[in-house]
Chain A
Amino acid sequence: MIGVRVLVGTRKGAFILTSDAERKEWDVSGPHFAGWEIYHLKGSPVNPNRIYASQSSGWFGQTMQRSDDGGKTWEPVGNQFTYEGNPGTHMWYDGTQHPWEFKRVWHLEPSLTDPDTVYAGAEDAALFRSTDGGQSWHELAGLREAKGHLWQPGAGGMCLHTIILDPVDPNRIFVAISAAGAFRSDDGGTSWQPINRGLRVDYELPDKASDVGHCVHNIAMHPSRPNTLFMQKHWDVMRTDNAGDSWEEVSGNLPSDFGFPIVVHAHEPETIYVVPIKSDSEHFPPDGKLRVYRSRSGGHEWEALTNGLPQSDCYVNILRDAMSIDRLDQCGIYFGTTGGQVYASSDGGDSWRAIVRDLPAVASIEVQTL
C-alpha cells in the first residue's frame, strides 16, 4: 500500500487530500468544480482511479462527473434521473400527499466488482443504477413499492443517503432513507422490504409499530460480517446481527444518542465510531466539545476520543456522509465538519489532527486506501 486519498465534498466544491502511508504530510488539491455543491464523491473499489462525483447547484440542477485518473481530470457524464413510470405521491410534512420530484443525488456507491456500475441515491428518495460508467441512469423502482406513499421527508429533504452492497451476496443491497427507514433487497434491487423492526420511535411516529417512517441517519457494515449492521438513527445507535430483521439499541453511555455518521474500524468488526450531537434542535456537540466516541464491543460501552480535538467553544456539525476510514494496518479515521475542518486519526482514533481547517462546509468524506 502506498497511501490514502481522501475525497472531500463541500458546499462549494470538491477537494482531494493525499498522503503516503505515514499520513503526516498532506497534499491538498482543489477546489474542483468551484462554487458547485458536491454532495458526494466515491471511487470504484475495482479501479480506484475511477471516481464518481455528484455535482449540483440551485441554479443549474444536478450534474454528474467522472474521473479516470484519480481525480486529476474530470468529464461530465449523464445527469438525467427520471423516475420509472408514474411515481405518484409521497407523504408531505403536513400529512398530505405530494408529487415525487427529483432534486439531487446525495450518495454514490460504485459496484464492488464492475467499475462501470454505480448506484446513486436520490432526493426525492429513489435508487438509480448506471451500468455504463454513469452515462445513463435507471431507477430501481421496486424500492418505492415498499410503501413509498407513506415516506415523508426529514428536515433535510426526503433523501436516499445510504447504499451498502453486500460483499458476499451480490444480490443483497441495503439502503436508508430519511425519513422512511432502512430497506433491503435480496434480488439485486428488484424488490425491497422495510427492515425497521426494533427501531424505537417514542416521539417520532404516531404508530410505534410502523414499518416505515423511521428517520435513519446512517448505516455501516464491516465487510467480513455482512449480516451485522450498525445504525445511527435520529435518536439511538442501533445494531442488527440478522441483516436488519430485528434491531437492538446499543447507545449505552453516549452523552447523546443523536448524531449523523457511523463507521466501523477496518480490522476490528466490533469497533465502531460515532460523533454525538446534542439534539435535533441544536446541531452541535454537547458542551461545545468535539468528541468522537468509540466502542470496542459493538456498542453499549463507549469511550470519548478527544486528543487533538477542540474541547471548548466548538459548535460544528458532522454530516452523515462526512466520516470514513482507511484500511491501512493502523486504521485511519477521518471526518469533516460544517466548519470546514477535516480531522484525521492514524491510530484508530487515539489522537487527531486537522489535515485542513478552512474548507467550505464539508458534506462528505470518502477515503481510498491505495
Chain B
Amino acid sequence: MIRVELPAHLRTLAKTGKMVELEVDGTATQRAVLDALEATYPMLRGTIRDHVTQKRRPFVRFYACQEDLSHESPDAPLPDAVVSGVEPFLIVGAIAGG
C-alpha cells in the first residue's frame, strides 16, 4: 500500500483527505502511482500532469524521503520506504508567488 499526500486544493477537488492509500500493481514508479491515483480519483486527471503528454505540470512537485523526485524519470522505481508505505509520496504545489 502506497501512501500519497495531496495538496489542499486537490483534496477538495477529489473530496478526500490529506493522505490517500493506493494499491499499485508491478513496479512502483511515479507513473504507476499517478495512474492508480487518477483511476481512483478521475477528477484529478489533468491537474498533476498533462492529459496528453503526461508531463508534470510546471508548478507541481514530487517529493519522498526528503528528496525532490520531480525531475526523476516517471518510470524510475520509487524508494523502498515509499513502496512499503513507511514514507508517503508527496504531491506538492510549488511555492510560487511574491
> Which residue of chain A lies nearest to B14 when distances are taken between CB atoms in the complex?
A76
Q: Decide: A57 near B9, CB < 8 A? Known: A80-B51, A82-B51, A82-B52.
A: yes
Contact partner of A60 (CB less than 8 A), chosen from B51, B52, B60, B96, is: B60
Range class of the A interface residue count: 10 to 19
Question: In the assembled complex, which residues on chain B have CB atoms less than 8 Å from the CB atom of A62?
Answer: 46
Docked Cα-Cα span, A59 to B51, in Å, equals 15
> Which residue of chain A lies nearest to B59 when distances are taken between CB atoms in the complex?
A59
C-beta contact mask, B70-86 vs A, less than 8 Å → 1, else 0?
A: 00000000000000000
Q: Decide: A63 near B43, CB < 8 A? Known: A35-B9, A36-B9, A82-B52.
A: yes
**Interface residue SS majority, chain B:** loop
**A187: shortest Cβ distance to chain B, in Å?**
29
Question: In the assembled complex, which residues on chain B have CB atoms less than 8 Å from the CB atom of A76?
Answer: 13, 43
B9 engages A60 (CB within 8 Å) = yes
Docked Cα-Cα span, A35 to B97, in Å, equals 14
Docked Cα-Cα span, A76 to B45, in Å, equals 11
> Which residue of chain B lies nearest to A75 when distances are taken between CB atoms in the complex?
B43
Give the number of residue pairs across the A-B interface with Cβ within 8 Å. Answer: 45
Q: Decide: A80 near B57, CB < 8 A? Known: A59-B9, A60-B10, A60-B93.
A: no
Which residues between 58 and 97 of chain A lie within 8 Å of chain B, taking CB atoms? Answer: 58-63, 76, 79-80, 82
Which residues between 6 and 54 of chain B lie within 8 Å of chain A, taking CB atoms? Answer: 7-10, 12-13, 43, 45-48, 51-52
Question: In the assembled complex, which residues on chain B have CB atoms less than 8 Å from the CB atom of A79?
Answer: 43, 45-47, 51
Residue numbers of A with Cβ under 8 A of B are 33-36, 57-63, 76, 79-80, 82
Known: A58-B59, A60-B93, A80-B46. 17 other contacts (CB 8 A): A33-B12, A34-B12, A57-B47, A59-B7, A59-B9, A59-B59, A59-B60, A59-B93, A59-B94, A60-B10, A60-B48, A61-B47, A63-B43, A63-B46, A79-B46, A79-B51, A82-B52
